[in-house]
Amino acid sequence: MMWCVTITYGITPEEVLARYGADARTARLLTRQQAAQLAGDDLPEGSVLRAGRTGDWSFCFEDYGVMGCMPGPLSALSRGTETFSVLRGGDGMNGFAYWRDGQCTERFEPGATGTKPRPPHPWWDAVQGRLDASSEEFPGLVPVLEATARHTRAVLDTGILDGPLLTLRLDDSDLTPAPQTPQQAPRPPKGVRGVPARPGPPPPPTMRQAVNVPVT
């Protein structure tokens, strides 16, 4: 099963959808089962976006979608704040990215040393430490989700994802485009919890709650 989720601090679910490029006014509260009916094969290329909130963080979840790992939405989502992106690819390739104030500071495939970013890379270190400590031969995305939860304290479980969330379908042609200007060194946004006063992603704080996004 393929899925993608973004988690953004301090904005509403409606704003999340808008930053993907959607008209949030067209969103409806639908369950996961109801939302599946919006993903017909006879429709234009696109993705079903489902947005909600947990604590101070808003998320957008896609079944069989990858919009949440594209630079256009991630740059927009993280403008003035911070955004995590986690992808479980249908081809077995997983992905993690951390964006802050419109800039990508880390992006890698968990466990694939060839994708290790340039230092500093605290998120790589946090995820790799959990991979090394795991007793499972193939822990999947669990170490990634644990590292993310340690920072966000956001809990996404099947009850939340299966329940009613703000839902709409976004065509590929309406997706927020990638930034046209070259990326500069990230500047920390003001007033965002957990963001240091100098460039470089912050190390995750002590974990208080564990995320429970299904990984099977």
Taking only the tens place, the pLDDT of each residue in 84-143 is 999 999 877 899 999 999 999 999 999 899 999 999 999 999 999 999 888 777 678 989
What are the structural domain ranges in the chain? 3-174
Check residue 179 and report its DSSP letter: P
- The pLDDT, as a whole number, for residue 41 is 67
12-41: average pLDDT: 95
Question: Using alpha carbons only, what angle is made at residue 159 by residues 132 and 65, rounded to the nearest 5 degrees?
Answer: 70
Q: Write the burial class of residue 19 (CB in 10 Å: 0-12 exposed, 13-18 middle, 19+ buried).
A: buried
pTM: 0.82
